[in-house]
Amino acid sequence: MAMNVSRLVQALEPSATLAMSAKAKQLKAAGKKILDLSVGEPDFPTPWHICEAAIAAMKAGHTHYTIASGIPELKKAVADQYRSRYGLEYAPSQVVIANGAKHALHNACTSLLNPEDEVIIPAPYWVSYSELVKLTGARPVIVPTEEAHGFKLTPEQFCRAITPRTRALLLCSPSNPTGTMYSPEELGQLADIVLEHNLFVISDEIYDQLVYDGLPFASFPTLRSGLQERTIVVNGVSKTYAMTGWRIGWTLSPENLATAMGDLQSQETSNPCSISQYAALTAITGPQECVAEMREQFARRRKFVRERLSKIPQISFPEMQGAFYAFVNISQYLGRNYGQVLIKDSAQWCLELLAQEGVATVMGSAFGAEGYVRLSFATDLATLEEALDRIERFLGSAA
Ligand code: PMP
Ligand code: GLU
């Protein structure tokens, strides 16, 4: 008998962001010049004082198992951080340290959802959301949003998607892939509906420190009283401190969910890397100038990308308010010939851009939005400049 893959895993799409990034890396390894705007990860080295904390942790012998849900010092530091940033009171026991924010999302979905539950996910959505929900047996309910409304779920769209099976809303603000952010008022309107229908929210706040133009970021549980008991907040060090490889993220949640997620982790992965946890502790309790410096660099790149994109005819994109992505509407450029090739959809467009011009991006279809392409501007200005020259040339060649 064939060794068939389980139905749940068969139904899983591999991560398109990581697949495009792997493709770019392969071509680079084969000696091709590739300009990589695919994966969303800060290109800066992890600040050195954080690396030193890891070395110190090894020297101090922190090289063994820790408590499965994380070291107490880091849990306390995360709780303190949310108190000082947003005035939210969490006990350290409500914090679970995971192997990255993606794993924190997996913990949240697995501990909250039952098979047949429905989870509302506004599209465009980050590639892993639908798959992490599907892995629990629950059903992702993808709700398309409008570019003209910054790709934000409206109260009407939210209400229309609710059924008796709806258990949760999965929100990402600032958003990967759209780069837009809900205002506190917009989030408040969604919060009222959450409370009215007794729903739960998984709020992915991983880009909370990457907001531009001084726009106000609101952590979801702050919007109305009673939300803290209904929300699992996800955050981590990957984006804020350029620590994607260290694999540390976390949840802040009601106590019973935190206990469940800790228990889950104790069976599934044990603790996140002990050394990385000490590094993350220094990241969030140490000097914070590095965060502002990186944000400034991202802001400069954002300005450059916006200026360049706005000169290209027949494309559009919403204002980038946070994170490091431009989500570009290329629908006017589909169904056209590029050299000998007729390009029909965003996936083909991205693959052809990579083949013809050596620029790696991610197709909108991976985020539930055909007709778009995501450009990550988490790379240096010289790379961005050349990549945009090539993208412009590629689009200009469409006949
Ligand atoms: N959420 C969003 C919206 C992200 O963009 C990412 C980065 N891919 C993650 C979660 C996962 O982050 P981590 O690297 O900490 O797993
Ligand atoms: N957040 C990044 C992205 O969307 C990392 C890749 C991933 O984890 O999917 O490109």
pLDDT in tens, 346-393: 999 999 999 999 999 999 999 999 999 999 999 999 999 999 999 999
pLDDT of residue 122: 98
Span 295-300, average pLDDT = 98
Whether residue 215 contacts residue 322, with contact meaning beta carbons closer than 8 Å, is answered with yes
* CB of residue 357 inside a 6 A radius of ligand 2: no
Contact 95, 72 (CB under 8 A): no
- Which residue is closest in CA terms to ligand 2's atom 3? 40
Sign of the torsion angle spanned by Cα atoms 126, 319, 157, 372: negative
pLDDT tens profile 106-156: 999 999 999 999 999 999 999 999 999 999 999 999 999 999 999 999 999
Task: Work out the angle between the directed axes of helices 48-59 and 274-285 (0-180°, nearest 10).
Answer: 140
pLDDT (0 to 100) of residue 18: 87
Give the pLDDT confidence score for residue 19 in this predicted structure. Answer: 86
Residue to mutate (ligand 2; options 176, 235, 375; most atoms within 8 A of CB) = 176
Question: What does the alpha-carbon distance between residue 316 and residue 337 come to, in Å, rounded to a whole number?
Answer: 20
Q: Compute the mean pLDDT over every residue in the chain, rounded to the nearest whole number.
A: 97
Q: How far does residue 3's CA lie from ligand 1's centre (Å)?
A: 32
What is the average per-residue pLDDT within 285-308? 98
Taking a C-beta distance cutoff of 8 angstroms, is the pair 230, 195 a contact? Answer: yes
Say whether pLDDT at 314 is over 90.
Answer: yes
Quick one: tokens of 268?
Answer: 């599934």
Q: Is the pTM of this model over 0.85?
A: yes
244 CA: nearest ligand 2 atom: 5
Tens digit of pLDDT for each residue in 182-227? 999 999 999 999 999 999 999 999 999 999 999 999 999 999 999 9
Q: How many Å apart are CA 130 and CA 138, to the nearest integer? A: 10
Q: Is 253 in the pocket of ligand 2 (CB under 6 A)?
A: no
